[in-house]
Amino acid sequence: MLRLRSGRTDVALHTLRDAAGPTLLCLHALRGRAADFAELAPHWPGRVLALDFSGHGASDRPRGGSYTPELLAGDADAALAHTGNACVLGVGLGAYVALLLAGGRPSRVQAAYLLPGAGLEGSRTLPHTLVSGEALRAEVARLLEAASHRDAPGFDPMVCALDADPRPPDYARAHADAATRLLFGEDGELRPPWWEMSRESAAALRAPSDPRAGLTMLYASAEATS
């Protein structure tokens, strides 16, 4: 495991497979960790690295408890600065971050493969102030509860803010339009608005939701674009 500086804190980057060939950077779902990708790693032909996002796994919990998708994109960017060009696999919240990174660092992210999972699955098209009064109070109560238990093991409870962090779907779409290649793992289920809108971009391809089949397609896409 390697500790990398990301802003004012450190994030943990784990090597899951050390092999010659293209690098795969894995980004986990909300409340997940790098080890979630252990079973998948042998199915990639090259080196497999997996990141613990801020507040998760072996990475630091930022003082003050503020989490945004952009902060996590900064974590992934720190990993990218270390690895050089890479393919990115993202699940749930990690898929959202992979999309941001693919748009913000198009020359570094050869292709990104997005799979559904926890975090931003329930993302809204409206800010939290527009949900019902009852839902808003429940959300604030949840945040206040999380704020008082930040020592909990596994992950910082404050990461729950990422579950409902409002980002307009056209924000995600703008990143999709700037990306080199995006693979959306589809299984026919309904996806959040950011996903539905982004998969219509020119960079997008529909991909299998089975990760092994998807990784094969990701590898072929990266070969084609490099």
Partner 1 sequence: MDATYPGAVAPERHRTLTSLGLRLHVAEWGDPAAEPVLLLHGFYDHVHAFDLLAPLLAERFRVVSYDARGHGESEWPDSYAWQTDVLDAIHVLRDLGRPAHVVGHSRGGGLATDCAAQYPDPVRGLVVLDGFGPPPLSQPNAFQRHRLQGSVPQQLTTWLDWRRGVAARRTFAPASSLEELAARRQVQNPRLSLEWLRYFAAHGSRRVGEGFAWNFDPMASRGAGPFRPEWIAPGWRRLKAPMLAVVGDEPDTWGPLDESILSERLANVPVLTRATVQGAGHFMHIEKPRETAALIRDFLEAA
C-alpha closest to that of 141 among 166, 160, 167: 160
Q: How far is the CB of 216 from partner 1 (least distance, A)?
A: 28
State residue 18 phi and psi, 5-degree precision. Answer: -110, 105
74 binds partner 1 (CB under 8 A): yes
Q: Does 169 participate in binding partner 1 (rule CB under 8 A)?
A: no
Pairing of strands 9-17, 2-6: antiparallel
Rounded least distance, CB 91 to partner 1, Å: 20
Cα–Cα distance, 75 to 95 (Å, whole number): 14
Amino acid at 19: A
Quick one: which of 48, 98, 161, 197 contacts partner 1 (CB under 8 A)? 161
What x-and-dash track marks residues 104-143 binding partner 1 by CB under 8 A? xxx-------------------xxxxx--x--xx--x--x
Print burial letters for 130-159: b (CB count within 10 Å at least 16), e (below 16): ebeeeeeeebeeeeeebeeeeeeeebbbbb
Q: Of these, 12, 26, 73, 207, which contacts partner 1 (CB under 8 A)?
A: 73
Helices 69-83 and 93-104 pack at an angle, to 10 degrees, of: 60
144 binds partner 1 (CB under 8 A): yes
Q: Which residues bind partner 1 (CB under 8 A)?
A: 5, 7-9, 54, 60, 62-71, 73-74, 77-78, 81, 100, 103-106, 126-130, 133, 136-137, 140, 143-144, 147, 150, 158, 161, 165-168, 171, 174-175, 177-178
